[in-house]
Amino acid sequence: MYKKKTPKSRNSYNDSVKIFPGGISHNIRFFRPYPFFVKKAKDKHLFDIDGNRYVDYWMGHWALILGHSPNVVVNKLDSQIRHGTLYGTVNDTSIKLGESIKKAIPTSELLRFCTTGSEATMYAIRIARAVTKKRIICKTIGGWHGFNTDLMQSVNYPFEVDEGVGMTGREGDFVESIPFNDLERSIKLLDSVKDDLACIILEPVLGGGGCIPADINYLKGLEEYCKRNNILFILDEIVTGFRLNFGSASSSYRLDPDLITLGKIVGGGLPIGVVCGKKEIMQVANPVENKYKERICYIGGGTFSSNPLTMTAGYATLDYIGKNRKTIYNKINKLGDMARNGLTRLFSDYGLRTQVTGIGSVFHTHFLSNGVNEIKSANDVALCDNQALTRYHFSLMAKYGIFFLPHKMGAISVVHSERDIRNLMNATETILESDILMEKKD
């Protein structure tokens, strides 16, 4: 059925493999038999080149909290594209976006813009090493902080195996991986390296690792450990920043991280990464005050950092969300609850052992198997029945025009409605009735 509906995409994919290894520029964007090629996107919809329309829950890697090309952003970009896309110098729009972030996130006493999330996390740990004069980085197993060399450890299952070929094999010497949501075992591992431990970096909600919120006690325990031992506590909020509330997840959890990384939503649909943090820490990256190599932490670079298009889109987005924060977060968080509760009930009604994880407007379905009774870690996620998940996501897409990037969590945006969630439920129920999830072939 998918193949029948997407002949042009098949042709495009055949062209694409002649240009890109595997036909893609981002590994997770491939799925079998071939991904559909998008022609345009607006609000909640993706339109492919064959004329099919999809209700999108992937939403630009979860970045598009206002949906695709929202008018509040388009109206501002409309002028900015005519007046420069890349000044290569300082500009007032950076100040406006910077101030918006500062106001919303207490940790953000000073910040720096870069162009991607991978850059932001790389710079954050560099700052941590610089101010603590220690070397080891701690991350969680299954934690995803982009493909920078420093953090390419314990990302994908099997977590103990090197993250692919092309590394020196020595990168892991300065990275300690701890089990997500297991404070006791984590502390034991931390104790073994704490004299040389520069920072702990983790996501408040494991994103790429399977949409698993961290236990508040886990976060608080790690934070306390950091404060006691001169270790920086870094929250990677590239996904959660402005996703769960107007600001950082750290605020709602009453955490006090030293550094926070942002991306996605704050770029308003354009490329961005942000490192923000306490003033005395961030100043190590100040090139005006630290003139000599012995003192400065070089972060930044980046032809495109603070470019006026991103700054404009990001500011338009935060400005709009800020003014409508109550309505927006009430709505999307409620839809998130509706999706999680509804799907959980539905799968249970049909006798399937699943767990729908998530928080606020992000959610993800796991088909429990291999002795996993509760999803607490990326390891649990890896042991689930991922073939069933593939069939589920694929059926939603191919038969019902509902798009989740296969195996990835979904994100609800302000353009989604209760009706969309009901449609998702109805489609899921029809799929459950057809028994397709239990088939053993794709």
Q: Write the DSSP assignment of 124-167 as a string of letters.
A: HHHHHHHHH---EEEEETT----S-GGG-SS-SSSTTS-SSSSS
Q: Which two tokens stand for residue 422?
A: 């009901």
| Residue list 369-388, contact with a copy of itself (CB under 8 A) | none
What is the Cα–Cα distance from 256 to 106, expressed in whole angstroms?
A: 8
| Residue list 242-271, contact with a copy of itself (CB under 8 A) | 263-264, 267, 269-271
Q: Work out how close the CB of 321 gets to a copy of itself at its nearest, in angstroms, rounded to a whole number.
A: 17
Q: Is 205 helix (H, G, I), strand (E, B) or coil?
A: strand
| Residue list 69-88, contact with a copy of itself (CB under 8 A) | 69, 73-74, 77-78, 81-88
Q: Work out how close the CB of 184 gets to a copy of itself at its nearest, in angstroms, rounded to a whole number.
A: 28
| Residue list 206-245, contact with a copy of itself (CB under 8 A) | none
Q: Work out how close the CB of 235 gets to a copy of itself at its nearest, in angstroms, rounded to a whole number.
A: 18
Using the rule CB under 8 A, is 442 a contact of a copy of itself? Answer: no
Using the rule CB under 8 A, is 177 a contact of a copy of itself? Answer: no
Q: Work out how close the CB of 332 gets to a copy of itself at its nearest, in angstroms, rounded to a whole number.
A: 18
Q: What's the maximum distance between 2 C-alpha atoms anywhere in the chain?
A: 68
Using the rule CB under 8 A, is 35 a contact of a copy of itself? Answer: yes
Q: Of the candidates 4, 168, 441, 442, which one interacts with a copy of itself according to CB under 8 A? A: 168
Q: Of the candidates 7, 25, 227, 349, which one interacts with a copy of itself according to CB under 8 A? A: 25
E strand or H helix that includes residue 188: helix 183-191
Of the two residues 159 and 367, which places its CB atom closer to a copy of itself in the complex?
159
57 Cβ contact partners less than 8 Å away, ≥ 6 residues apart: 402, 403, 404, 410, 411, 412, 416, 424
Dihedrals phi, psi of 137, to nearest 5 degrees: -110, 135
Q: Work out how close the CB of 69 gets to a copy of itself at its nearest, in angstroms, rounded to a whole number.
A: 6
| Residue list 121-150, contact with a copy of itself (CB under 8 A) | 122-123, 126-130, 133, 135, 146-150
Query: Per-residue x/- mask for a copy of itself, residues 36 to 75, rule CB under 8 A?
Result: xxxxxxx---x--x--------xxxx-xx---xx---xx-
Using the rule CB under 8 A, is 99 a contact of a copy of itself? Answer: yes
Using the rule CB under 8 A, is 2 a contact of a copy of itself? Answer: no
Using the rule CB under 8 A, is 192 a contact of a copy of itself? Answer: no
What is the Cα–Cα distance from 34 to 12, expressed in whole angstroms?
A: 10
Of the two residues 19 and 435, which places its CB atom closer to a copy of itself in the complex?
19
Size of the site for a copy of itself (CB under 8 A): 127
268 Cβ contact partners less than 8 Å away, ≥ 6 residues apart: 73, 310, 312, 313, 314, 315, 316, 317, 318
Using the rule CB under 8 A, is 351 a contact of a copy of itself? Answer: no
Of the two residues 1 and 165, which places its CB atom closer to a copy of itself in the complex?
165
User: Which single residue is written with the structure tokens 């920043």?
Assistant: 241
Long-range contacts of 94-100 (CB under 8 A, 24+ apart): 94/306, 94/311, 96/311, 96/315, 97/266, 97/311, 97/314, 97/315, 97/318, 100/315, 100/318, 100/319, 100/322
Using the rule CB under 8 A, is 182 a contact of a copy of itself? Answer: no
What is the Cα–Cα distance from 354 to 346, expressed in whole angstroms?
A: 10
373 Cβ contact partners less than 8 Å away, ≥ 6 residues apart: none
Contact yes or no for 329/316 (Cβ under 8 A): no
| Residue list 394-433, contact with a copy of itself (CB under 8 A) | 405
| Residue list 309-338, contact with a copy of itself (CB under 8 A) | 309-310, 313
The stretch near a copy of itself (CB under 8 A) out of 115-123, 176-184, 386-394, 434-442 is: 115-123
Of the two residues 173 and 435, which places its CB atom closer to a copy of itself in the complex?
173
Q: Work out how close the CB of 163 gets to a copy of itself at its nearest, in angstroms, rounded to a whole number.
A: 6
- Per-residue CA distances from 400 to 169, 394, 395, 427, 428 (Å): 45, 10, 7, 6, 9
